[in-house]
Amino acid sequence: MILRILNLVMLAILARTTFAQLQQVTNFGPNPTNVGIYAYRPSGLPANPALIVAMHYCTGTAQAYYSGTRYATLANTYKFIVIYPNAPDSGGCWDVHTNATLTHDAGGDSLGIASAIRYAINTWGVDRNRVFATGTSSGAMMTNVLAGAYPDLIKAGAAFAGVPYGCFAGPGMWNSQCAQGQLTKTAQQWGDQVRSGYPGYTGSRPKMQIWHGTRDETLNYNNFDEAIKQWTNIFGYSTTATQVQQNSPLSGWTRSTYGPNFQAISAANVPHNIPVQENDVLNWFGITGGGPTTTTTTTGPTQPPTTTTPGGPLQTQWGQCGGIGWTGPTACQPPFTCQYTNDWYSQCR
How far is the C-alpha of 24 from the C-alpha of 69, rounded, in Å?
Answer: 18
Preceding amide of 310 cis, omega within 30:
no
Q: List CB contacts of 173: < 8 A, sequence separation 6 or more.
A: 89, 91, 93, 95, 97
Where does residue 254 rank: exposed (0-12), middle (13-18), buried (19+ CB within 10 A)? middle
- CA 102, distance to chain mean position in Å, is 19
How far is the C-alpha of 90 from the C-alpha of 73, rounded, in Å?
Answer: 29
| Domain boundary assignment for the chain | 19-285, 319-348
How far is the C-alpha of 166 from the C-alpha of 156, rounded, in Å?
Answer: 18
* Residues with catalytic roles: 137
pTM (predicted TM-score)? 0.80
Q: Hey, how many other C-beta atoms are within 10 angstroms of the C-beta on 252?
A: 14
Report the phi/psi class of residue 24: left, alpha or beta, with left for phi > 0 and alpha for psi in -120 to 50. Answer: beta
Is 322 in a helix, a strand, or coil? strand
Among the listed residues 85, 70, 84, 72, the one whose alpha carbon sits nearest the alpha carbon of residue 33: 85
Q: List CB contacts of 156: < 8 A, sequence separation 6 or more.
A: 132, 133, 206, 207, 208, 209, 284, 285, 286
Q: What is the pLDDT of residue 319?
A: 74
284 with 207: CB under 8 angstroms?
A: yes
How far is the C-alpha of 296 from the C-alpha of 251, rounded, in Å?
Answer: 10
Among the listed residues 179, 258, 168, 276, the one whose alpha carbon sits nearest the alpha carbon of residue 221: 179
How far is the C-alpha of 326 from the C-alpha of 319, rounded, in Å?
Answer: 12
Q: What is the pLDDT of residue 178?
A: 98
Q: What is the pLDDT of residue 12?
A: 38
List the beta strands (DSSP E) in the chain: 23-25, 36-40, 51-55, 81-86, 131-136, 156-160, 207-213, 243-246, 253-259, 262-267, 295-298, 305-308, 320-322, 338-342, 345-348
Fold of 19-285: Rossmann fold (3.40.50)
| Sheet with 320-322: strands ordered across | 320-322, 345-348, 338-342
Q: What is the pLDDT of residue 296?
A: 31
Where does residue 176 rank: exposed (0-12), middle (13-18), buried (19+ CB within 10 A)? exposed
pLDDT along the chain (349 residues), means of 10: 42 40 97 98 97 98 97 97 97 97 98 98 98 98 98 98 98 96 98 98 97 98 98 98 96 97 98 97 89 33 31 62 62 64 67
Go through 296-318 and write b for each residue having 16 or more CB atoms within 10 A of its CB, e for each that does not: eeeeeeeeeeebebbbeebbeee
Q: What is the pLDDT of residue 342?
A: 60
